[in-house]
C-alpha cells in the first residue's frame, strides 16, 4: 500500500512510500523512487508508486511475500520473468482494458528494467548484462493495449463559462457555498485557474504573498505578476502534497490588476489567521487539500442547470467540470488572443509553452490549435479576457 512517511523517517526518505501488509517499506521501490528526478512532484511519485503497488501485491500472491524484492536483489531472471508474465496476463485478462491498465504494466517494466540497469552499472559481471538483455527481449513485445489520445480538448463551452462567472461571484444569490470564506476561496480557485491556467497542485502550493507588484516606468503604471514555484516557507502538512510538476513548470506569469485585486482581497479579508503560509485555507485553518478541491468542483457541477449539463455532454462528452477543464479553457483563449494580435502560429505556440509550463518541444499546444478558432468561446470575454466586467463586480468600487 502507499503511505506518506514524515517525522518518523529521515529527511531523505520522507514522502510517498510503498509498504507491505506488515507496514514495512518495499525495499527496491524505495530505492527506485529515490533515483527519480528531483523536480518530480510528490503527487507524480505517488502515482507511479501506486501503479507499482499492484505489481508487488500480485508477486506476493503468486510467488510469496517478499519474493519480488529478493529476486531483484539476486537478479533472479527466472523469478522476475514469472512475476512480470503473471502480472501481464492478470492485467490483460481483466474485464476491461483502459489506459490505466497500460500505465500499470509499463510502470512494472520500467521499475524492473531501471533497477537491473543500476545493478549492472554497479559491477555485476557480464553475465548479468546478458541475462538482463534476455529479460528485455522476452517482454519488449508485450503490450496491454494502445493508449488512445484524447480527441477532445476539454475547454468549457461559452455558455458554461458565462454561467460560472455568475454562479461563483461571492455576492451572487445563486452561489451554492454558504459563507463568505468558502465563497471567496472558491472564487479565487476559479479565477486563478481560469485566468492564469494553473494546475491544481501549483495553486495549492502557492504562498499567501504570491502576487508581486512593481511600478513599470515604460508603461507608467503598476505591474503585477506571480511566481509558480516551490513553496519554501513551510513543510506541507497535507497527506496528498500538491506541488510543481517538473522543472518546466517553474515560471513567472503576468497577472492583470483585476486578478491581483481578487487574490489580495481574499488574502487580506477572508483567508484568516493561520499558522501556515499557503494562500488557500480551509475553514478549519488548514491548507486547502486536493481532496477538498475535488469536492468543491463536485458541488459546482451539481449546481449547473440540466440544460448546461447537456451542453457539456454534447461538447466534452461528460457532464462534470474539473479543475483541469479551466486550464484547458485558458489555453484556448490565450492562444486565440495571441493569434488575434497577429503573432505567427509558431511563435504563439512557443509563448503558450512558456505560459503553461510545458517544455519547448511539447506537443501540448498543438491540441488547442484546432479549438482556438471557435468564436463562441472567444466571445465570452469580448476580446478582453483579463478585464471582464463581471469579474470586477465583487471588488471595492464595483463597475456598473
Q: What is the pLDDT of residue 152?
A: 60
Residue 321 has a pLDDT of 94
Q: Which residue, among 253, 245, 255, 254, has the nearest Cα to 359 in the 3D structure?
A: 245
Distances in Å between the alpha carbon of 3 and those of 21, 40, 264? 12, 18, 36
Q: With the C-alpha atoms ordered 167, 165, 325, 248, is the resulting torsion angle positive or negative?
A: negative
The confidence score (pLDDT) of residue 301 equals: 96
By DSSP bridging, strand 2-5 and strand 221-228 are unpaired
Provide the residue-wise pLDDT of the chain in tens; the chain has 400 residues. Answer: 555 554 455 544 556 788 887 878 888 888 888 877 766 677 778 888 888 888 988 888 888 888 888 988 887 877 887 888 788 878 877 767 777 787 888 888 888 878 877 775 545 445 555 555 555 555 554 555 554 444 466 888 888 888 999 999 999 999 999 899 999 999 999 999 999 999 999 999 999 999 999 988 877 888 999 999 877 766 777 777 777 777 778 899 999 888 999 999 999 999 988 888 899 998 888 899 989 999 999 999 999 999 999 989 888 888 899 999 999 888 888 888 888 788 888 888 889 999 998 888 787 777 776 566 544 444 444 444 455 544 434 333 333 3
- Distant-in-sequence, close-in-space partners of 108: CB < 8 Å, separation ≥ 6: 51, 52, 55, 84, 87
Give me the pLDDT at residue 35, please: 79
Neighbour count for residue 78 (Cβ, 10 Å): 10
* The three grid cell numbers given for residue 364, joined into one nine-digit string: 501540448
Residues 6+ apart with CB under 8 A from 361: none
- 325, 156 in Cβ contact below 8 A? yes
Set of cell numbers at residue 124:
555485476
* The pLDDT value given to residue 14: 57
Q: Where are the alpha helices (DSSP H) in the chain?
A: 27-34, 42-63, 67-74, 77-92, 99-121, 125-139, 158-168, 180-196, 200-204, 257-269, 290-302, 306-316, 323-340, 345-356, 366-369, 375-378
CATH class of 158-394: mainly alpha
Predicted local distance difference test score (pLDDT) of residue 111: 86
Instruction: Look at the chain and count its residues.
Output: 400
Assigned C-alpha cell, 102: 497500460
Question: Torsion over CA of 378, 379, 381 and 382, rounded to 10 degrees?
Answer: 130
What is the rounded distance in angstroms from the CA atom of residue 191 to the CA atom of residue 260? Answer: 10
pLDDT score at 399: 36
Query: Domain extents for the chain?
Result: 2-139, 158-394
**Whole-prediction pTM:** 0.63
pLDDT at position 39 is 62
Amino acid at each position: 500500500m502507499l503511505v506518506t512517511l514524515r517525522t518518523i523517517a529521515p529527511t531523505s526518505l520522507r514522502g510517498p512510500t510503498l509498504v507491505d501488509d506488515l507496514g514495512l517499506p518495499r525495499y527496491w521501490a524505495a530505492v527506485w523512487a529515490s533515483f527519480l528526478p528531483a523536480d518530480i512532484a510528490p503527487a507524480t511519485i505517488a502515482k507511479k508508486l501506486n501503479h507499482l503497488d499492484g505489481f508487488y501485491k500480485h508477486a506476493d500472491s503468486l510467488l510469496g511475500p517478499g519474493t519480488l524484492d529478493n529476486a531483484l536483489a539476486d537478479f533472479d531472471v527466472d523469478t522476475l520473468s514469472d512475476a512480470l508474465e503473471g502480472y501481464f496476463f492478470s492485467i490483460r485478462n481483466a474485464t476491461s482494458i483502459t489506459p490505466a491498465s497500460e500505465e500499470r504494466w509499463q510502470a512494472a517494466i520500467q521499475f524492473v528494467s531501471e533497477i537491473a540497469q543500476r545493478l549492472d552499472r554497479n559491477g555485476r559481471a557480464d553475465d548479468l548484462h546478458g541475462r538482463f538483455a534476455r529479460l528485455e527481449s522476452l517482454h519488449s513485445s508485450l503490450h496491454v493495449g494502445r493508449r488512445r489520445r484524447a480527441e477532445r480538448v476539454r475547454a468549457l463551452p461559452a455558455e458554461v463559462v458565462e454561467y460560472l462567472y455568475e454562479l461563483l461571484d461571492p455576492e451572487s444569490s445563486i452561489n451554492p457555498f454558504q459563507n463568505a470564506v468558502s465563497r471567496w476561496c472558491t472564487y479565487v480557485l476559479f479565477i486563478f485557474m481560469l485566468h492564469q491556467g494553473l494546475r491544481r497542485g501549483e495553486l495549492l502550493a502557492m504562498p499567501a504573498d504570491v502576487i508581486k507588484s512593481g511600478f513599470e516606468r515604460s508603461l507608467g503604471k503598476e505591474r503585477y505578476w506571480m511566481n509558480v514555484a516551490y513553496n519554501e516557507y513551510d513543510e506541507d502538512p497535507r497527506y496528498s502534497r500538491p506541488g510543481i510538476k517538473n522543472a518546466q513548470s517553474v515560471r513567472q506569469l503576468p497577472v492583470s490588476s483585476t486578478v491581483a485585486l481578487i487574490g489580495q482581497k481574499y488574502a487580506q479579508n477572508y483567508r484568516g489567521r493561520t499558522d501556515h503560509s499557503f494562500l488557500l485555507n480551509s475553514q478549519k485553518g488548514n491548507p486547502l487539500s486536493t481532496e477538498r478541491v475535488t469536492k468543491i468542483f463536485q458541488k459546482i457541477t451539481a449546481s449547473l442547470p440540466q440544460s448546461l449539463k447537456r451542453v457539456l455532454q454534447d461538447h466534452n462528452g461528460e457532464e462534470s467540470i474539473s479543475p483541469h477543464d479551466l486550464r484547458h479553457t485558458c489555453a484556448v483563449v490565450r492562444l486565440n488572443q495571441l493569434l488575434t494580435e497577429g503573432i505567427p502560429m509558431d511563435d504563439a505556440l512557443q509563448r503558450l509553452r512558456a505560459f503553461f509550463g510545458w517544455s519547448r518541444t511539447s506537443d501540448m499546444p498543438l491540441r488547442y490549435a484546432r479549438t482556438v478558432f471557435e468564436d463562441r468561446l472567444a466571445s465570452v470575454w469580448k476580446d478582453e479576457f483579463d478585464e471582464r466586467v463581471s469579474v470586477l463586480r465583487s471588488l471595492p468600487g464595483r463597475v456598473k
